[in-house]
Structure 1
Amino acid sequence: MTDSQRIGVAVFGAGRIGKIHAGNLARHPHAQLRYVVDVHAPFAEELAAKHGAAVATVEQALADPAIRAVVIGSSTDTHADLIQRSAAAGKAIFCEKPVDLDVERARACAVAVKKAGVTCMIGFQRRFDPTFAALKQRLDAGEIGTPEMLVVTSRDPSPPPAAYIARSGGVFKDMLIHDFDIFRWILGGEAVSVHATGASPNLPEVAAAGDISHAAVTLRTRDGALCQINTSRRAAYGYDQRFEVLGSKGLLQAGNVRPTQVVAWGEQAISSDKPEAFFLERYRDAYALEIEHFFDALANGTPVRTTIEDGIKALELAELATQSWREGRALECSV
């Protein structure tokens, strides 16, 4: 494929996730990374130089007709503005979660996307994880009958800095938004009730930032299927990402990914590697596969799997969970 046939793209954000996306773009046959945009010039310059791109401003990138798509990996507080400006410029959009921390601003983004008629995909990379996707395929094939309960475990190895927590939107929007998307994806329905509780045991700095470090959420669908999500900002043993689905005819489990699958059997114990260190390692394949899907969809004119509507639905659940935790009661959902 020649350069003129490839889809010109600008990456907004040159931090951790921007670097991952830029690397995957550089390897994708349908994409051509042309610009890197970041308010911190040294980050943008370093990433652009690594992949043969140029540094640009938002205005320059969106004004260039050679740019047909943008990948938004900048801070959450920039997402809504960049989505709306990119849609107005007629660019296809891939944006990291969440769409915004405010539900109304997120809905305004959806209106802008629909009005412009552009593709907009939200980065729920867990749907593209090979293990999770294989479970979903077997579930849809009816292997365990009708799904009745989903149990999700989602734990980070350590809490982020207090300054980050204070502006993150809280654990339900920052961390569990992925798990709310998993709930909708796996059970295939919408929640009619949400009950969330949480605390910050032995982590006073998290509480001081106005958040909680540990949470438990129960959701129920209209047909009575249940979902239980347990999460923590601290798991001393590593990044813990797994779930199981109980169905009328059996159980499907998706476990952690480890650096190697070697298991040592000794006289005193049986041991294996701890889970992958964090999300960049755990979901390296998923990040590549979601970018591949986005650009394949653009090249073939097919719909994307994770839409801005999915982003809004997950954010609505995060908002309700936050309210439920603060008020100490279960809340009904409008579906």
Structure 2
Amino acid sequence: MTKKLQVGIIGAGRIGKLHTENILRFPDVEIKTIADPFIESAREWGQSLGIQHLESDPMTIINDPEIDAVFICSPTDTHINVIEAAAKAGKHIFCEKPISFSDEATMNAYQIVKENNVKVQIGFNRRFDKNYARVKEYVASKVIGDLHILKITSRDPEPPSLDYVKRSGGIFMDMTIHDFDMARFVAGSEVTEVFVLGNALVNPEIAKADDIDTAIISLKFENGALGVIDNSREAVYGYDQRIEAFGSKGAAESKNEIDTQVKLSTSKAILEDQPLHFFLERYNEAYIKEVADFFQSIIENTPITCTFEDGIMAQRIAQAAKESWQTGKPVSVKRIDA
């Protein structure tokens, strides 16, 4: 009988629970332990899923020689310590975005990961969305010719709490970082420069936290293409997630996912469903595919699809975007090999 891949999950909040329930779908993988400092609030949930070990100390997972891979689903300010400890313990790592709020800390962890030769996948789940993957395919195969403009719309259905905003790292690191990764992924090219216009239009109180909730972001790509991302923390009609790649021979567009494809036409109006409510509904299939890809890379010893380097570059674009917003000037993005 083949030994199951043993997994430990650090963090039992919303994203930790999502990954836990998705991982239970995989017959060759077993969740041995979930650890969270506030595990008591999740104990009933964990026991209902048959998780035997529910601990308060994440080091329980790091120090367990039977655990092969660690899922880091805890707050961003805990990521670096866990990455470094897990790498030194020889465990493969799945880490939610962003890696950290500090380029220096991220690069130090990067070196430790390389020295210990463990696999690290960053949780940019949108790469595994079938719609975005098809747009990427059309760009890469030159079906639309040379890419000229990449447009990304990303708007949440409702703003987060002010408490969350204050510890989120800001809109660029918390929200737009997915769009920065998607821009690199679809364009197949590095972002070299960022320019941002932004304001707190949804909730003026967000400005007091040195943050914004509405942004227009211009991008320059190394291959000469241009990009634009528009973000809002509140789209009253639902989770607005669209992308268009425009090239010399045509364009490829991904529209919003809706509950049904039914359109009602009457003498008074033409009606169709609103976009799916939020990211758990919109990207559920992508979340399953990203962990499947991670497990496959471990079991078959194949390269990781969404790498530590991808996480570094998305983080650097986010940092450049914040600097651009604060200074009102275009900001260059530093390459890893620079």
TM over 0.5: yes
Match status 1:307 vs 2:307: yes
Note if contact 1:171-1:213 (Cα within 8 Å) is conserved in structure 2. Answer: yes
State how far apart, in whole Å, the 2-side matches of 1:260 and 1:84 are: 45
Aligned to 1:259, the other structure's residue is in SS state coil
1:42 is aligned to: 40
1:10 is aligned to: 8
Alpha-carbon offset, residue 160 of structure 1: 0.4
Equivalent residue letter for 1:15:
G
Runs of 4+ in 1 over 6 A off after TM superposition: none
How do 1:155-174 residues align onto structure 2 when only pairs under 5 Å count? 155-174=155-174
Deviates more, 1:105-114 or 1:286-295: 105-114
Aligned to 1:153, the other structure's residue is in SS state strand
How do 1:46-85 residues align onto structure 2 when only pairs under 5 Å count? 46-53=44-51, 54-56=53-55, 57-85=57-85
Deviates more, 1:134-143 or 1:15-24: 134-143
State how far apart, in whole Å, the 2-side matches of 1:17 and 1:167 are: 17
1:262 is aligned to: 262
Aligned to 1:27, the other structure's residue is in SS state coil
Alpha-carbon offset, residue 61 of structure 1: 1.4
Aligned to 1:301, the other structure's residue is in SS state coil
Alpha-carbon offset, residue 35 of structure 1: 0.5
State how far apart, in whole Å, the 1-side matches of 2:306 and 2:36 are: 25
Note if contact 2:79-2:99 (Cα within 8 Å) is conserved in structure 1. Answer: yes
1:126 is aligned to: 126
Equivalent residue letter for 1:96:
E
2:147 is aligned to: 147
2:271 is aligned to: 271
State how far apart, in whole Å, the 2-side matches of 1:218 and 1:48 are: 44
Note if contact 2:216-2:231 (Cα within 8 Å) is conserved in structure 1. Answer: yes
Equivalent residue letter for 2:281:
E
Note if contact 1:35-1:48 (Cα within 8 Å) is conserved in structure 2. Answer: no
Alpha-carbon offset, residue 105 of structure 1: 1.0
Note if contact 2:152-2:230 (Cα within 8 Å) is conserved in structure 1. Answer: yes
Note if contact 1:10-1:71 (Cα within 8 Å) is conserved in structure 2. Answer: yes
Residue deviations 1:78-131 (CA, integer Å, cap 9, x gap): 111111111111100001000011111111111111011000000000000111
Residue deviations 1:179-211 (CA, integer Å, cap 9, x gap): 110111111111221101100125112112221
1:28 is aligned to: 26
How do 1:92-131 residues align onto structure 2 when only pairs under 5 Å count? 92-131=92-131
Alpha-carbon offset, residue 143 of structure 1: 1.3
State how far apart, in whole Å, the 1-side matches of 2:151 and 2:292 are: 29
- How many residues are paired up? 333
Query: What is the RMSD computed on CA atoms of the aligned residues?
Result: 1.2
Equivalent residue letter for 1:255:
K
Residue deviations 1:5-41 (CA, integer Å, cap 9, x gap): 2100001111111111001111112311110111112
Alpha-carbon offset, residue 47 of structure 1: 3.6
State how far apart, in whole Å, the 2-side matches of 1:71 and 1:155 are: 27
How do 1:149-298 residues align onto structure 2 when only pairs under 5 Å count? 149-298=149-298
State how far apart, in whole Å, the 2-side matches of 1:24 and 1:15 are: 14
TM-score (norm 2): 0.96
Note if contact 1:10-1:36 (Cα within 8 Å) is conserved in structure 2. Answer: yes
State how far apart, in whole Å, the 1-side matches of 2:80 and 2:42 are: 21
Note if contact 1:30-1:296 (Cα within 8 Å) is conserved in structure 2. Answer: no
Residue deviations 1:263-286 (CA, integer Å, cap 9, x gap): 111111111111111111111000
Alpha-carbon offset, residue 305 of structure 1: 0.7
State how far apart, in whole Å, the 2-side matches of 1:126 and 1:157 are: 17
State how far apart, in whole Å, the 2-side matches of 1:213 and 1:165 are: 10
Note if contact 1:239-1:275 (Cα within 8 Å) is conserved in structure 2. Answer: yes
Identify unmatched segments of 5+ residues in structure 1: none
Q: Rate the CA distance shift 1:255–1:314 in 2: closer, same or farther, 3 A.
A: same
Deviates more, 1:272-281 or 1:41-50: 41-50
State how far apart, in whole Å, the 2-side matches of 1:49 and 1:300 are: 31
Note if contact 1:12-1:73 (Cα within 8 Å) is conserved in structure 2. Answer: yes
TM-score (norm 1): 0.96
State how far apart, in whole Å, the 1-side matches of 2:28 and 2:292 are: 9
Identify unmatched segments of 5+ residues in structure 2: none
Alpha-carbon offset, residue 255 of structure 1: 1.0
Q: Rate the CA distance shift 1:223–1:141 in 2: closer, same or farther, 3 A.
A: closer
Alpha-carbon offset, residue 59 of structure 1: 2.0
Equivalent residue letter for 2:32:
R
